[in-house]
Structure 1
Amino acid sequence: MTIVLWNWAESIRAAQRTINELKMHELSVIGGVLGFAVTHPTGLT
């Protein structure tokens, strides 16, 4: 019983880690796009 609960807690932790990594990746992509737009204003027209 405790093993099942522990495995469940571990999988939740792993899922949260994955979500956080995806968020960080998303933010870095958005940051990169914004940085590119600022340094290359002609790309917006």
Structure 2
Amino acid sequence: LFLSCNVAYKTASGTKNQLKNGAVNARSAYLYGPVFFHLLLRKN
């Protein structure tokens, strides 16, 4: 029982970290995406 609780806890915290990282990635993509796109267009 303890083992399964431990695994569930690890899975939950891993998912929480993934969600946090996903939110950070989405925000940075939203912020920097247009900048990169603009630079890409200017280069061509």
TM-score of the superposition, structure 1-length normalised?
0.69
Which residue of 21, 31, 38 corresponds with 2:13? 21
User: Percent of aligned pairs with the same residue?
Assistant: 6
Which residue of 4, 22, 27 corresponds with 1:12? 4
Tell me: higher relative CO, structure 1 or 2? Use CA pairs within 8 A at least 6 residues apart. Answer: 1
Which residue of 13, 19, 22 corresponds with 1:30? 22
Q: Determine the C-alpha separation between the residues in 1 that align with 2:11 and 2:18.
A: 10
**CA RMSD, aligned part only?**
1.1
